[in-house]
Every structure is written in C-alpha cells, then in structure tokens.
A and B are shown apart, each in its own frame.
Chain A
Amino acid sequence: MPKRQPLQFYSETLPGVDLSELQGKLIVIEGPDAVGRTTQVALLRQWLEREGHAVLDTGMARSALAGKGIKMAKEGNTLGPITMTLFYTTDFADRLENEIMPALRAGFVVLIDRYIYSIMARAIARNEDRRWIEQVAGFALVPHATYYLRAEVETLVSRVVLGRGAFDFWESGMDLRFGPDKYDSFVRYQARLIRALDSMVKPYEFAVIDADQPVLKIFAELRRRISRLLPRDSRRRQPSSTAVKAVT
C-alpha cells in the first residue's frame, strides 16, 4: 500500500508549496559508491516506462544551478567538508524545487539516485554534527520508499576494480587524509559511509536490499517492491510474481 499520502516535508516547510498537489511517487535508491545504484535506476526507468509511467530520474550534482560549480570545486583540493555538504544541499534544493516537485505535480514517478541521506552520510563520515545536517536537509520530502542497496566494502572494492579500474579521489575520501594510499583510504571511508547509512535504516525507514546479489536479482526485488507502490492499472505485470494473484 502506498504509505504517507500526501507527501510531507521532514522538518521544514518550504514556502509556497501545496503538498496536496504532489500526485506522483517519490522513490529513492540509496547506497555507497560503486554498489550499482545507477544500473538499477536505468533498469527501473525502462521497466516503468514500459508499464506506462512517466519517469524523471535525477541524481547528485546534476542541478542547473550548482552541478557545474560542484564539479569545478572538486577538481581543486580546497573544498572543505562543511562547504561540500552545503554545496550538495544547494544542488539538491535546486533539483527538488525545479525538477522533482514539478514532476510530482504532473504525476510522474520520480526515481532519485541518492537523496539527502548520502549528503548526510558523507557529512557524518567527516565528523560533522548529525543534528545540524539533519535540520539543514529538513526541507526534503519524505519519499514513498527508500531502497538501500547494501553491500560490504569488499564487494565495492571488486566492483571498482573490475569496473572503472581505478579509485576516485573523493570516493576514497582522500580529503580525510587517512593516508597516501587510495585503496586503504577507500576501504576506511566506505566503511564509515556504510556505518552512517546503516544508522539511518530505522529512523528513515529504509528497505534494505542485499546488493551482493546479481544485478538482475536485485532488479527483480526492486520491481516487486515498487509495483506495490504504484497505482494499479489494467496492464498485466510479469506473471512470475506472487503479487499478481492479488491484483486479478
């Protein structure tokens, strides 16, 4: 059953928003770097569109306002942790007000690759005040569902090495100065991020998905869960799911 209708803000109401107008579905995919979120969002989008839903997908640092600025700031080595947190929050706010809420008003399914939880996890991993960032990000909408793709650090390492084949400066948390080695730093930083995300499972009602499974299995699980959130129409879904019985 779709819970929490209509959508709500966490703790801070944005001026001039009528929440009852937001008719679409807000679905978040969370998880650490290299866990496979982006692949799942692409698969989900295709599937949802095939099912006849209009889909908007969006992710971090893609805003018209701050996306480019964040990329430029990350090229240097002077981006401090609080500045980074606030820059990403600016980026999120711009997308929320100018892309996500208009799409929800129009009845879209909005798929978000990382929400405020990633911004919060990065801040917490950098020893920033948790209450501070929770309140700063309090203008976010409570999603209809958040799926947390969870894997152990070893899985992430093998995906990075087999995939891109190199460790990224920021994904390795090199700004935390654990040491000169990117692999060591990656392991420590990602373990912190996972710990921070784990701590949000309960308060933010994440559905935890085991991301050590093969891509298509994860996809099947997400599809099964998401179809329960969507308005039922006359279309037939894949006949494999047990949920189908209840529909017809």
Chain B
Amino acid sequence: MPLFMPNRYRGKLIVVEGIDGSGKSTQISLLSHWLRSSGYAVAFSEWNSSPLVRQATRRGKKKEMFTPTTFSLIHATDFADRMESYILPLVKSGAIVCADRYAYTAFARDVARGVGRRWVRNLYRFAIHPNIAFYFRVPLDVALGRILGGRDALKYYEAGMDLGLARDVEESFRIFQGRILDEYEAMAKEVGFHIIDASLPIEEQQRQMREIVTRELGADAENGVLRVPPEGAAGA
C-alpha cells in the first residue's frame, strides 16, 4: 500500500521534518526565499494552522481535553483542511509548496504518544506525496539546548505532559522528544527522507538543500512549474 497519493500535477511539494530545535523552519524559510527569488510561484504551509479547525484545537489544548487518539485526529483534520483547500489546489496550479512539517510529524509524534503505527499511516493516506522530504538529523542534546535555552515556557502537550512521563516539564520534554527522535530515525529509510546533518553550519545545510532541490526537480522545474518570465522576455 503506497503511503500517499502520487503527485501527478505540475506543481511541487517540498517538506521539512525533524524534532523541535533541529533548525528545519529556518532552513525551509531560506529555501523558499531562494525559490521565490528564482522566479517560482512559492507557497508556504505550516503545521496546525487551519482556520477552520483552530477553535477546536485551541479549546482542547487549553482545557487539556486530548487523548492520544483525539490529539492525532484533530491534527489530521487540520492537515486535511490545508490539503483540500490550500496545498492541493496550489500544487495543481503549478506552484512549489513548501511545508514546515508534514504527515511524518504525526507518524513520529502520535506514535510516541501510543497511537498505532499502521493506523496513523492510513489516516494520512489522502495526502499527496512530497517531491522532496528533508529530515534534519540532530542529536537530542543539541536540539534540547537550542530549545530550552532561549524560549518561553514549554507547553503542556509539546512537552508530552499528557503522558505522565515525568513530573518536571523539562524532564518530560526530554523523554518525549527522545521518543519522537527514535520514531523519525526508524522511519527515515521507509519513507525515503533526504537527511541533512543539522549540526552543520546553517549555510552548509542550505547549500546541500539547494543542491538536492536542483538535482531532484531539475528538468521538471523548467517545464510545468509556474514561474515569472525572466526580465525582458515578458510579453504574452
């Protein structure tokens, strides 16, 4: 059974994955700027950002109502809305859609919460297959150092506090992120991630990404993908 629906459209889908603090958001942001400045039509989609589902998610988090199953389902609902009303029409139209987290986040996070591996993979079967999925591999301590150093207090579900792993929020976060990391590593081969060493300098990671994008999208990107005509060639 294939994991996702094949992308038969003109546009492309590029996604980034990795645990919190792996630096993936920085990298996808740099990549999308680069693609845009090269003239491509670029769109961006973030995990957990559907306006239709937001109210329910917010309510569930605030009142700590989620079980592993409902947590998984509400995020799949959010994802479905973004897929149906945003990502899919844009990919059809020829845009390059960059997604900060994709179904793999659910595969890692929901399974770390105790949800069945096969069940959660089936849940996302309606998603279109990314053209490129980058995975930012980072040692747990490096990621934790980046997160725990500079940010606001950790949130309840983010730290996996619903699982009762530890009383202390930071300790719970540590254990939970470790489990998520294990899930990512276990699926890396299965799903064909392009692995980026996230402990390298930012510039080097970005250079590798651009190289992979150029290689993978190559001739395709010259054909179907929507692009601003080069200066002077406009006219139609």
Does A94 interact with chain B (Cβ within 8 Å)?
Answer: yes
In the complex, A72 Cα to B58 Cα: how many Å?
A: 14
CB distance from B204 to the nearest CB of A (A): 39
The reply to whether B52 and A136 form a contact with Cβ atoms under 8 Å apart is no
The reply to whether A135 and B122 form a contact with Cβ atoms under 8 Å apart is yes
The reply to whether B122 and A97 form a contact with Cβ atoms under 8 Å apart is no
Q: Which of B55, B83, B114 contacts A68 (CB 8 A)?
A: B55
Q: Chain B interface: which of A49-57, A85-93, A149-157? A: A85-93
**Residue of A at shortest CB range from B68?**
A15
The reply to whether A132 and B80 form a contact with Cβ atoms under 8 Å apart is no
Point out which of A70, A86, A129 has the most chain B C-beta atoms below 10 A from its C-beta.
A86
Does B116 interact with chain A (Cβ within 8 Å)?
Answer: yes
| A65 touching B56 in the complex, CB below 8 Å, given contacts A90-B70, A97-B67, A97-B70 | yes
The reply to whether B65 and A93 form a contact with Cβ atoms under 8 Å apart is no
| A136 touching B122 in the complex, CB below 8 Å, given contacts A12-B116, A82-B80 | yes
For this complex, into which size category does the number of interface residues on chain B fall? 20 to 34
Residues in A neighbouring B66, C-beta threshold 8 A: 65
Does B21 interact with chain A (Cβ within 8 Å)?
Answer: no
Q: Chain B interface: which of A20-28, A73-81, A200-208, A235-243? A: A73-81
The reply to whether A90 and B56 form a contact with Cβ atoms under 8 Å apart is yes
Point out which of B55, B73, B85 has the most chain A C-beta atoms below 10 A from its C-beta.
B73
The reply to whether A80 and B56 form a contact with Cβ atoms under 8 Å apart is no
- Provide the B62-82 mask, 1 if CB < 8 A to any CB of A, else 0: 000111111001101100110
The reply to whether A82 and B83 form a contact with Cβ atoms under 8 Å apart is yes
**Residue of B at shortest CB range from A12?**
B119
**Residue of B at shortest CB range from A63?**
B70
CB distance from A93 to the nearest CB of B (A): 5
Residues in B neighbouring A94, C-beta threshold 8 A: 65, 67, 70
The reply to whether B123 and A83 form a contact with Cβ atoms under 8 Å apart is no
**Residue of B at shortest CB range from A85?**
B80
Residues in A neighbouring B85, C-beta threshold 8 A: 78, 80, 83
Give B110-137 interface residues, CB cut-off 8 Å to A.
114-116, 119, 122-123, 125-126
User: Total A-B pairs in contact (CB under 8 Å)?
Assistant: 96
CB distance from A203 to the nearest CB of B (A): 18
In the complex, A97 Cα to B70 Cα: how many Å?
A: 9
Does B178 interact with chain A (Cβ within 8 Å)?
Answer: no
Q: Which of B68, B77, B122 contacts A87 (CB 8 A)?
A: B77
Residues in B neighbouring A139, C-beta threshold 8 A: 69, 119
- Provide the A93-133 mask, 1 if CB < 8 A to any CB of B, else 0: 11001100000000000000000000000000000110010
Give A25-53 interface residues, CB cut-off 8 Å to B.
none
| A136 touching B114 in the complex, CB below 8 Å, given contacts A83-B77, A90-B73 | no
Residues in A neighbouring B84, C-beta threshold 8 A: 80-83
Q: Which of B52, B68, B70, B77 contacts A76 (CB 8 A)?
A: B52
Does A138 interact with chain B (Cβ within 8 Å)?
Answer: yes
Q: Which of A66, A82, A132 contacts B56 (CB 8 A)?
A: A66
**Residue of A at shortest CB range from B69?**
A93
**Chain A residues in the interface with B (C-beta under 8 A):** 12-16, 64-66, 68-70, 72-73, 76, 78-83, 85-87, 89-90, 93-94, 97-98, 128-129, 132, 135-136, 138-139
Task: Offer 9 A-B interface pairs, CB within 8 angstroms, sorted by A.
Answer: A65-B65, A68-B55, A69-B53, A70-B56, A73-B52, A80-B80, A87-B53, A97-B69, A129-B126
Known: A66-B74, A82-B80, A139-B119. 10 other contacts (CB 8 A): A15-B115, A65-B60, A65-B74, A69-B59, A80-B80, A82-B126, A86-B77, A90-B77, A98-B65, A139-B69
